[in-house]
């Protein structure tokens, strides 16, 4: 992203479990960062208070004052309107309804603030500094507890009528599938996320399937997570391998939809579940190739996200800088 390397931006990546705050420059360099726990059960006022504390710690570490910062960019989970700065609702932040998150932070920090959906922020991070540099049309997906996405068309996040576009995790894959947090049935993330993988494993174990998964979870059904299933699969457990293959299958069905609709040049894949690697993605790419138009599938490249846990915080900061420039020009 263009800009003076001396310019500083404060980026915030608000997640359902953690808050990551960083002082960055327009080249994507992180000068300081602070991570803390999101006190989600305590409600939005406590969470905003934690964001402000984290921001001040990051500023202190970089030895800069808030007056040295050009703007603040906040990425947050859920349905967000970047124009109004309102967070409508969030499956990761229970009880949040129509919260003026942007204006509240702007008022408390005394600095121009911008708000963007967390997956859209991560897409922008990858666009400016990561795996999508140099592309104009790509889709970013993050596969973890849910599936988030960001759609970049001609170098800009596609935001839709109220800024809520890119909710790829909630496209219907199975009209009779499991109930989703959003209220719908059979959404992509109910079939191809880490949560879906763990849920299916518990279901099979309860049904009496022979597997070592429960041993890797110390005999505790609550501890059957995607990571445990990955461990078991890597040690050769056949149910774990089958379940990861099944998750990859559903991942591929959704990818085929995105490929046919957007004809992207690139799909960047991030999020914790993508760390499983080939065991998950080989079946996904195979199914996507079988289901999408051949010519359209041949035109798409796949890449792993390049910024790790920093894609959201860097993208939120880049969004703030991009919007500052847009408002000035």
Q: Does 180 bind Zn ion (CB under 5 A)?
A: yes
Is 187 or 292 the residue whose CB approaches Zn ion more closely? 187
The helix/strand/coil state of 154 is coil
Q: Is 162 helix (H, G, I), strand (E, B) or coil?
A: coil
Q: Which lies closer to Zn ion via its Cβ, residue 84 or residue 172?
A: 172
Shortest distance in whole angstroms from residue 326 CB to Zn ion: 31
Q: For residues 204 and 281, what is the distance between their CA atoms, to the nearest angstrom?
A: 22
Q: Minimal distance in Å, beta carbon 242 to Zn ion?
A: 25
| One residue of 184, 212, 260, 263 binding Zn ion per CB under 5 A | 184
How many helices (H) and strands (E) the chain has is answered by 11, 13
- Residue 182 as a binder of Zn ion (CB under 5 A): the answer is yes
Q: How far is the CB of 3 from Zn ion (least distance, A)?
A: 37
Phi and psi (nearest 5°) for 319?
A: -60, -45
**By C-beta, is 91 or 252 nearer to Zn ion?**
91
Buried b or exposed e, range 14-26, using 16+ CB within 10 angstroms: bbbeebbbbbbbb
Contact in structure between 306 and 131 (CB atoms under 8 Å): yes
Of the candidate spans 135-143, 177-185, 262-270, 293-301, the one that interacts with Zn ion by CB under 5 A turns out to be: 177-185
For the CB of residue 140, give the shortest distance to Zn ion in the complex, in Å. 18
* Minimum separation from the CB atom of position 184 to Zn ion (A): 5
Q: Which stretch binds Zn ion (CB under 5 A): 67-75, 185-193, 210-218, 244-252?
A: 185-193
- The answer to the question of residue 72 lying near Zn ion (CB under 5 A) is no
Least Å from the CB of residue 187 to Zn ion: 3
**Nearest to Zn ion of 102, 170 (CB atom):** 170
What is the DSSP pairing of strand 97-99 with strand 86-89? antiparallel
Rule CB under 5 A: is residue 187 a binding residue for Zn ion?
A: yes
Using CB under 5 A, which of the segments 52-60, 137-145, 184-192, 253-261 binds Zn ion? 184-192
Min CB(205)–Zn ion separation in Å? 25
SS (HEC) of 291-325:
HCCHHHHHCCEEEECCCHHHHHHHHHHHHHHHHHH
- By CB neighbour count within 10 A (0-12 exposed, 13-18 middle, 19+ buried), where does 67 fall? exposed
Token pair for 288: 């996507």
Secondary structure (3-state) at 85 = coil
| Min CB(149)–Zn ion separation in Å | 12
Choose the binding region for Zn ion from 119-127, 149-157, 182-190, 223-231 (rule: CB under 5 A): 182-190
R_g over Cα of the chain: 20
In sequence order, which residues have a C-beta less than 8 Å from that of residue 200 and are 6 or more positions away? 243, 246, 247
Q: What does the per-residue mask of binding to Zn ion show for 144-173, with x meaning CB under 5 A? A: --------------------------x---
- Binding residues for Zn ion, rule: CB under 5 A, are 170, 180, 182, 184, 187
């Amino acid at each position: 992203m263009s800009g003076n390397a001396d310019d500083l931006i404060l980026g915030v990546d608000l997640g359902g479990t953690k808050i990551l705050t960083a002082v960055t420059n327009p080249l994507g360099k992180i000068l300081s960062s602070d991570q803390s726990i999101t006190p989600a059960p305590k409600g939005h006022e406590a969470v905003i208070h934690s964001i402000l504390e984290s921001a001040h710690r990051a500023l202190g570490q970089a030895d800069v004052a808030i007056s040295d910062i050009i703007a603040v960019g906040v990425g947050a989970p859920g349905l967000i309107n970047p124009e109004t700065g309102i967070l409508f609702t969030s499956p990761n932040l229970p009880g949040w309804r129509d919260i003026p998150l942007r204006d509240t932070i702007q008022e408390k920090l005394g600095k121009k603030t911008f708000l963007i959906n967390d997956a859209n922020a991560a897409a922008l991070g990858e666009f400016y500094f990561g795996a999508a540099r140099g592309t104009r049309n790509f889709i970013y997906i993050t596969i973890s507890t849910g599936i988030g996405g960001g759609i970049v068309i001609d170098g800009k996040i596609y935001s839709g009528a109220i800024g809520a576009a890119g909710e790829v995790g909630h496209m219907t894959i199975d009209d009779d599938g499991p109930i989703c947090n959003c209220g719908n049935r059979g959404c992509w993330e109910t079939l191809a996320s880490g949560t879906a993988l763990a849920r299916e494993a518990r279901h099979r174990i309860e049904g009496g399937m022979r597997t070592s998964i429960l041993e890797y979870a110390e005999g505790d059904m609550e501890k059957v997570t995607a990571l445990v299933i990955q461990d078991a699969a890597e040690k050769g457990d056949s149910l774990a391998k089958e379940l990861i293959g099944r998750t990859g299958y559903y991942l591929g069905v959704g990818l085929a939809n995105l490929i046919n609709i957007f004809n992207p040049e690139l799909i960047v894949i991030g999020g914790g579940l993508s760390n499983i690697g080939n065991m998950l993605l080989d079946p996904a790419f195979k199914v996507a190739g079988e289901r999408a138009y051949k010519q359209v599938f041949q035109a798409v490249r796949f890449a792993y996200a390049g910024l790790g846990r920093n894609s959201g915080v860097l993208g939120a900061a880049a969004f703030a800088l991009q919007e500052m420039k847009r408002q000035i020009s």
